[in-house]
Structure 1
Amino acid sequence: MRGLLSMGLVLAVAGCAQLGIGPKTDAPASMPAPGRIAPAPKPTANSAAAFDTTTAAQRAEAAQKPATGEAKLGVTIASLGDPTDPGFWMRTGLVSVESKGRIENPKTGKSAKVTLIPTGKPAGAGSEVSLPALRLLEVPLTELPELTVYRL
Protein backbone atom coordinates (compact mmCIF):
# COMPACT_ATOMS: atom_id res chain seq x y z
CA MET A 1 0.00 0.00 0.00
CA ARG A 2 2.84 2.40 0.88
CA GLY A 3 4.51 1.59 -2.44
CA LEU A 4 1.37 2.55 -4.37
CA LEU A 5 1.01 5.77 -2.36
CA SER A 6 4.66 6.67 -2.98
CA MET A 7 4.33 5.91 -6.69
CA GLY A 8 1.18 8.07 -6.89
CA LEU A 9 2.98 10.95 -5.20
CA VAL A 10 5.91 10.69 -7.60
CA LEU A 11 3.58 10.66 -10.61
CA ALA A 12 1.62 13.64 -9.27
CA VAL A 13 4.79 15.69 -8.83
CA ALA A 14 6.00 14.70 -12.29
CA GLY A 15 2.62 15.73 -13.71
CA CYS A 16 2.92 19.14 -12.06
CA ALA A 17 6.23 19.69 -13.83
CA GLN A 18 4.65 18.77 -17.17
CA LEU A 19 1.85 21.29 -16.55
CA GLY A 20 4.30 24.03 -15.57
CA ILE A 21 3.20 24.00 -11.94
CA GLY A 22 5.82 24.42 -9.26
CA PRO A 23 9.37 25.73 -9.33
CA LYS A 24 11.16 25.99 -12.64
CA THR A 25 14.37 24.03 -12.21
CA ASP A 26 15.10 23.13 -15.80
CA ALA A 27 14.16 26.39 -17.49
CA PRO A 28 16.48 27.14 -20.40
CA ALA A 29 19.08 29.73 -19.57
CA SER A 30 18.65 32.79 -21.74
CA MET A 31 21.11 35.59 -22.09
CA PRO A 32 19.84 38.99 -21.01
CA ALA A 33 19.55 41.54 -23.77
CA PRO A 34 22.61 43.72 -24.36
CA GLY A 35 22.48 46.73 -22.08
CA ARG A 36 20.53 44.82 -19.44
CA ILE A 37 23.43 42.80 -18.05
CA ALA A 38 23.95 43.84 -14.44
CA PRO A 39 23.22 42.16 -11.12
CA ALA A 40 20.02 43.00 -9.28
CA PRO A 41 20.45 45.46 -6.42
CA LYS A 42 20.67 44.16 -2.88
CA PRO A 43 17.39 44.11 -0.92
CA THR A 44 18.96 46.64 1.47
CA ALA A 45 19.56 49.22 -1.29
CA ASN A 46 18.26 52.62 -0.20
CA SER A 47 19.92 55.16 -2.50
CA ALA A 48 20.25 55.74 -6.23
CA ALA A 49 23.92 54.71 -6.06
CA ALA A 50 23.02 51.46 -4.27
CA PHE A 51 20.31 50.62 -6.81
CA ASP A 52 22.69 51.30 -9.73
CA THR A 53 24.68 48.04 -10.00
CA THR A 54 26.34 48.83 -13.33
CA THR A 55 30.12 48.96 -13.45
CA ALA A 56 32.26 51.91 -14.50
CA ALA A 57 33.14 50.00 -17.69
CA GLN A 58 29.45 49.40 -18.49
CA ARG A 59 28.68 53.09 -17.92
CA ALA A 60 31.60 54.13 -20.17
CA GLU A 61 30.41 51.77 -22.92
CA ALA A 62 26.81 53.00 -22.64
CA ALA A 63 27.94 56.64 -22.85
CA GLN A 64 29.76 56.18 -26.19
CA LYS A 65 27.87 57.55 -29.17
CA PRO A 66 27.89 55.28 -32.22
CA ALA A 67 29.72 56.64 -35.27
CA THR A 68 26.99 55.67 -37.75
CA GLY A 69 23.99 53.47 -38.32
CA GLU A 70 21.25 54.85 -36.12
CA ALA A 71 17.74 55.98 -36.96
CA LYS A 72 15.79 58.58 -35.01
CA LEU A 73 12.55 57.05 -33.73
CA GLY A 74 11.13 60.12 -32.05
CA VAL A 75 10.90 62.07 -28.84
CA THR A 76 9.27 60.86 -25.64
CA ILE A 77 8.57 62.08 -22.13
CA ALA A 78 10.37 59.72 -19.77
CA SER A 79 10.02 58.78 -16.14
CA LEU A 80 12.02 56.57 -13.83
CA GLY A 81 11.20 52.90 -14.34
CA ASP A 82 11.56 50.12 -11.79
CA PRO A 83 14.81 50.93 -9.93
CA THR A 84 15.30 47.25 -9.07
CA ASP A 85 15.45 46.29 -12.77
CA PRO A 86 19.20 46.56 -13.49
CA GLY A 87 21.03 47.71 -16.58
CA PHE A 88 20.43 50.26 -19.31
CA TRP A 89 16.94 50.07 -20.83
CA MET A 90 13.89 52.06 -21.89
CA ARG A 91 10.34 50.75 -22.05
CA THR A 92 8.62 52.66 -24.82
CA GLY A 93 5.84 52.60 -27.37
CA LEU A 94 8.29 53.83 -30.01
CA VAL A 95 9.32 50.22 -30.77
CA SER A 96 7.34 47.06 -31.43
CA VAL A 97 10.23 44.62 -30.88
CA GLU A 98 13.09 44.66 -28.38
CA SER A 99 16.14 46.23 -29.98
CA LYS A 100 19.34 48.13 -29.31
CA GLY A 101 19.02 51.86 -29.08
CA ARG A 102 20.29 55.11 -27.72
CA ILE A 103 18.55 57.85 -25.77
CA GLU A 104 19.71 61.44 -25.63
CA ASN A 105 18.90 64.40 -23.42
CA PRO A 106 18.67 67.26 -25.95
CA LYS A 107 19.19 69.84 -23.18
CA THR A 108 22.66 68.53 -22.30
CA GLY A 109 23.65 66.35 -25.27
CA LYS A 110 24.35 63.43 -22.88
CA SER A 111 23.30 60.03 -24.17
CA ALA A 112 23.11 56.37 -23.17
CA LYS A 113 22.99 53.18 -25.20
CA VAL A 114 20.00 51.17 -23.98
CA THR A 115 17.86 48.18 -24.77
CA LEU A 116 14.57 49.45 -26.17
CA ILE A 117 11.69 47.35 -24.83
CA PRO A 118 8.21 47.62 -26.36
CA THR A 119 5.31 48.48 -24.08
CA GLY A 120 2.50 47.85 -26.53
CA LYS A 121 1.24 51.36 -25.78
CA PRO A 122 1.00 54.22 -28.30
CA ALA A 123 4.22 56.07 -29.09
CA GLY A 124 2.93 59.20 -27.31
CA ALA A 125 2.15 57.39 -24.05
CA GLY A 126 5.52 58.21 -22.50
CA SER A 127 8.38 55.92 -21.60
CA GLU A 128 10.11 54.45 -18.56
CA VAL A 129 13.89 54.55 -18.25
CA SER A 130 16.23 52.58 -16.01
CA LEU A 131 17.86 54.31 -13.10
CA PRO A 132 21.42 53.76 -14.44
CA ALA A 133 20.45 55.33 -17.79
CA LEU A 134 18.90 58.39 -16.14
CA ARG A 135 21.98 58.77 -13.96
CA LEU A 136 24.20 58.58 -17.05
CA LEU A 137 22.07 61.32 -18.66
CA GLU A 138 22.44 63.31 -15.42
CA VAL A 139 18.67 63.74 -15.22
CA PRO A 140 17.19 64.28 -11.75
CA LEU A 141 15.21 61.14 -10.91
CA THR A 142 12.05 63.10 -10.12
CA GLU A 143 12.04 64.97 -13.46
CA LEU A 144 10.07 64.03 -16.54
CA PRO A 145 12.63 64.81 -19.24
CA GLU A 146 11.96 64.91 -22.95
CA LEU A 147 14.37 62.40 -24.52
CA THR A 148 15.24 61.68 -28.14
CA VAL A 149 15.21 57.97 -29.00
CA TYR A 150 17.34 56.28 -31.68
CA ARG A 151 17.49 52.69 -32.91
CA LEU A 152 21.00 51.36 -33.48
Structure 2
Amino acid sequence: MCEHVIAFCAGGLNHAFMARILLIAACFALTACAQAPKQVDAPEMVAPSSDQLRPKVRPAGLGRVVPKEARTVEEFDVTTAQEREEAAAVPVATVEKRLGLTVASLGDPTQAGFWIKTPLVSAAGKGRVVYPGTGKSVQVYMTPIEGSGSAGSRLSLAAFRLIEAPLTELPEIEVFSGG
Protein backbone atom coordinates (compact mmCIF):
# COMPACT_ATOMS: atom_id res chain seq x y z
CA MET A 1 0.00 0.00 0.00
CA CYS A 2 2.83 2.33 0.85
CA GLU A 3 4.27 1.75 -2.59
CA HIS A 4 1.03 2.95 -4.21
CA VAL A 5 0.97 6.11 -2.10
CA ILE A 6 4.57 6.97 -3.04
CA ALA A 7 3.86 6.32 -6.72
CA PHE A 8 0.69 8.45 -6.53
CA CYS A 9 2.52 11.32 -4.84
CA ALA A 10 5.36 11.12 -7.32
CA GLY A 11 2.89 11.16 -10.20
CA GLY A 12 1.07 14.11 -8.67
CA LEU A 13 4.29 16.04 -8.25
CA ASN A 14 5.28 15.24 -11.78
CA HIS A 15 1.90 16.49 -13.05
CA ALA A 16 2.13 19.74 -11.06
CA PHE A 17 5.69 20.33 -12.24
CA MET A 18 4.70 19.80 -15.88
CA ALA A 19 1.76 22.17 -15.50
CA ARG A 20 4.10 24.91 -14.24
CA ILE A 21 6.51 24.33 -17.12
CA LEU A 22 3.65 24.59 -19.63
CA LEU A 23 2.40 27.79 -17.99
CA ILE A 24 5.85 29.39 -18.20
CA ALA A 25 6.24 28.29 -21.83
CA ALA A 26 2.83 29.76 -22.67
CA CYS A 27 3.85 33.08 -21.10
CA PHE A 28 7.01 33.18 -23.20
CA ALA A 29 5.03 32.35 -26.32
CA LEU A 30 2.58 35.18 -25.65
CA THR A 31 5.34 37.73 -25.09
CA ALA A 32 6.93 36.68 -28.37
CA CYS A 33 3.67 37.47 -30.14
CA ALA A 34 3.74 41.08 -28.99
CA GLN A 35 4.36 43.36 -31.94
CA ALA A 36 7.34 45.65 -31.82
CA PRO A 37 6.98 49.08 -33.40
CA LYS A 38 7.48 48.77 -37.14
CA GLN A 39 9.37 52.02 -37.58
CA VAL A 40 11.32 54.11 -35.17
CA ASP A 41 11.08 57.84 -35.70
CA ALA A 42 14.42 58.82 -37.18
CA PRO A 43 15.84 62.28 -36.70
CA GLU A 44 15.21 64.63 -39.58
CA MET A 45 18.17 64.88 -41.96
CA VAL A 46 19.31 68.21 -43.31
CA ALA A 47 20.44 68.06 -46.93
CA PRO A 48 23.81 69.72 -47.58
CA SER A 49 23.88 72.70 -49.87
CA SER A 50 24.58 72.03 -53.54
CA ASP A 51 28.12 73.43 -53.35
CA GLN A 52 29.01 70.76 -50.76
CA LEU A 53 28.02 67.88 -53.02
CA ARG A 54 31.00 66.87 -55.13
CA PRO A 55 31.35 63.53 -56.86
CA LYS A 56 34.67 61.73 -56.63
CA VAL A 57 36.86 62.09 -59.68
CA ARG A 58 37.15 58.73 -61.43
CA PRO A 59 39.61 58.02 -64.20
CA ALA A 60 38.32 57.35 -67.67
CA GLY A 61 37.71 53.76 -68.60
CA LEU A 62 36.71 52.47 -65.16
CA GLY A 63 33.02 52.45 -66.03
CA ARG A 64 33.55 50.46 -69.21
CA VAL A 65 32.30 46.88 -69.15
CA VAL A 66 34.26 43.94 -70.47
CA PRO A 67 32.11 41.70 -72.69
CA LYS A 68 31.02 38.46 -71.00
CA GLU A 69 32.24 36.43 -73.97
CA ALA A 70 35.80 37.88 -73.67
CA ARG A 71 38.45 35.15 -73.81
CA THR A 72 41.66 36.76 -75.10
CA VAL A 73 43.82 39.53 -73.69
CA GLU A 74 42.75 41.85 -76.51
CA GLU A 75 39.07 41.23 -75.74
CA PHE A 76 39.55 41.92 -72.02
CA ASP A 77 41.48 45.16 -72.64
CA VAL A 78 38.68 47.56 -73.60
CA THR A 79 40.79 50.73 -73.44
CA THR A 80 40.93 52.86 -76.56
CA ALA A 81 44.08 53.78 -78.48
CA GLN A 82 43.69 57.39 -77.31
CA GLU A 83 43.44 56.29 -73.66
CA ARG A 84 46.56 54.16 -74.05
CA GLU A 85 48.44 57.07 -75.61
CA GLU A 86 47.42 59.44 -72.80
CA ALA A 87 48.31 56.90 -70.11
CA ALA A 88 51.73 56.24 -71.65
CA ALA A 89 52.61 59.94 -71.81
CA VAL A 90 55.18 60.90 -69.18
CA PRO A 91 53.86 63.83 -67.12
CA VAL A 92 55.72 67.06 -67.85
CA ALA A 93 56.97 69.18 -64.95
CA THR A 94 54.90 67.45 -62.31
CA VAL A 95 55.82 66.82 -58.74
CA GLU A 96 56.05 63.10 -58.18
CA LYS A 97 57.05 61.21 -55.09
CA ARG A 98 58.64 57.79 -55.36
CA LEU A 99 56.68 55.45 -53.09
CA GLY A 100 58.83 52.39 -53.63
CA LEU A 101 59.05 49.05 -55.37
CA THR A 102 56.26 46.49 -55.32
CA VAL A 103 55.63 43.10 -56.85
CA ALA A 104 52.67 43.37 -59.21
CA SER A 105 50.21 40.63 -59.94
CA LEU A 106 47.54 40.84 -62.61
CA GLY A 107 44.41 42.45 -61.18
CA ASP A 108 40.83 41.64 -62.13
CA PRO A 109 40.83 41.62 -65.96
CA THR A 110 37.13 42.54 -66.02
CA GLN A 111 37.90 45.94 -64.44
CA ALA A 112 38.77 48.22 -67.32
CA GLY A 113 41.14 51.16 -67.21
CA PHE A 114 44.62 51.93 -65.94
CA TRP A 115 44.78 51.33 -62.19
CA ILE A 116 46.83 49.84 -59.38
CA LYS A 117 45.62 48.60 -56.01
CA THR A 118 48.55 48.90 -53.64
CA PRO A 119 49.35 49.15 -49.92
CA LEU A 120 51.92 51.86 -50.75
CA VAL A 121 49.21 54.56 -50.73
CA SER A 122 46.78 55.56 -48.00
CA ALA A 123 44.38 57.53 -50.19
CA ALA A 124 43.12 57.14 -53.74
CA GLY A 125 44.62 59.38 -56.39
CA LYS A 126 46.69 59.66 -59.53
CA GLY A 127 50.10 58.12 -59.91
CA ARG A 128 52.49 56.41 -62.24
CA VAL A 129 54.17 53.00 -62.40
CA VAL A 130 57.41 52.14 -64.18
CA TYR A 131 58.52 48.66 -65.21
CA PRO A 132 62.35 48.66 -65.08
CA GLY A 133 62.48 45.66 -67.43
CA THR A 134 61.37 47.82 -70.36
CA GLY A 135 61.72 51.31 -68.93
CA LYS A 136 58.11 52.02 -69.91
CA SER A 137 55.67 53.79 -67.61
CA VAL A 138 51.93 54.29 -67.38
CA GLN A 139 49.79 56.79 -65.53
CA VAL A 140 47.35 54.99 -63.24
CA TYR A 141 44.58 55.59 -60.75
CA MET A 142 45.88 54.37 -57.38
CA THR A 143 43.60 52.71 -54.84
CA PRO A 144 44.81 51.78 -51.35
CA ILE A 145 44.51 48.21 -50.07
CA GLU A 146 45.31 46.73 -46.69
CA GLY A 147 48.70 45.26 -46.09
CA SER A 148 52.24 46.19 -45.21
CA GLY A 149 54.33 48.29 -47.57
CA SER A 150 56.20 45.17 -48.62
CA ALA A 151 53.00 43.39 -49.66
CA GLY A 152 52.28 43.00 -53.36
CA SER A 153 50.02 45.09 -55.55
CA ARG A 154 47.44 44.36 -58.24
CA LEU A 155 47.85 46.08 -61.60
CA SER A 156 45.22 46.35 -64.33
CA LEU A 157 45.50 44.36 -67.53
CA ALA A 158 45.68 47.53 -69.63
CA ALA A 159 48.57 48.86 -67.52
CA PHE A 160 50.40 45.51 -67.71
CA ARG A 161 50.15 45.59 -71.49
CA LEU A 162 51.26 49.21 -71.82
CA ILE A 163 54.44 48.73 -69.78
CA GLU A 164 55.00 45.43 -71.61
CA ALA A 165 55.34 43.41 -68.42
CA PRO A 166 54.89 39.65 -68.82
CA LEU A 167 51.35 38.67 -67.85
CA THR A 168 52.40 35.27 -66.53
CA GLU A 169 55.03 36.61 -64.13
CA LEU A 170 55.13 38.77 -61.01
CA PRO A 171 57.21 41.75 -62.14
CA GLU A 172 58.67 44.27 -59.74
CA ILE A 173 57.54 47.80 -60.57
CA GLU A 174 58.28 51.29 -59.25
CA VAL A 175 55.32 53.29 -57.95
CA PHE A 176 55.13 57.10 -57.94
CA SER A 177 52.37 59.29 -56.52
CA GLY A 178 51.31 62.59 -58.04
CA GLY A 179 51.12 63.65 -61.62
Structure 2 counterparts to residues 107-118 of structure 1, below 5 A: 107-118=133-144
The one of 93, 99, 103 aligned to 1:73: 99
| RMSD over aligned Cα atoms | 2.1
Q: Any conservation in 2 of the 1:73–1:150 contact (CA below 8 Å)?
A: yes
Question: Number of matched residues?
Answer: 127
CA distance in 1, matches of 2:126, 2:156: 14
Amino acid at match of 2:59: P
Identity among equivalent positions (%) equals 46
CA distance in 2, matches of 1:45, 1:66: 32
> Structure 1 residue runs of 4+, over 2 Å off?
35-38
Match of residue 55 from structure 1: 80
The offset of 1:54, in angstroms, is 0.4
User: Residues 73 and 36 from structure 1, CA distance in 2 versus in 1: closer, same or farther, beyond 3 angstroms?
Assistant: farther
Q: Any conservation in 2 of the 1:36–1:89 contact (CA below 8 Å)?
A: no
The one of 121, 134, 140 aligned to 2:147: 121
The offset of 1:149, in angstroms, is 0.3
Query: Normalized against structure 2, the TM-score is what?
Result: 0.66
Amino acid at match of 1:37: L
Amino acid at match of 1:103: V
Q: Which of the pair has more CA radius of gyration? A: 2
Match of residue 4 from structure 2: none
1:142 aligns with 2:165: no
Stretches of structure 1 that go unaligned for 5 or more consecutive residues are 1-11, 16-29
User: Residues 86 and 115 from structure 1, CA distance in 2 versus in 1: closer, same or farther, beyond 3 angstroms?
Assistant: same
Stretches of structure 2 that go unaligned for 5 or more consecutive residues are 1-37, 40-54
**SS of match in other structure, 1:132:** helix
Q: Any conservation in 2 of the 1:96–1:120 contact (CA below 8 Å)?
A: no
Q: CA offsets per residue over residues 72-118 of structure 1, 9 Å max, x none?
A: 11000000000001100000000011010000001211011001110
CA distance in 1, matches of 2:134, 2:97: 20
CA distance in 1, matches of 2:113, 2:82: 12
**SS of match in other structure, 1:124:** coil
CA distance in 2, matches of 1:78, 1:134: 9
Query: Normalized against structure 1, the TM-score is what?
Result: 0.77
Q: Any conservation in 2 of the 1:52–1:86 contact (CA below 8 Å)?
A: yes
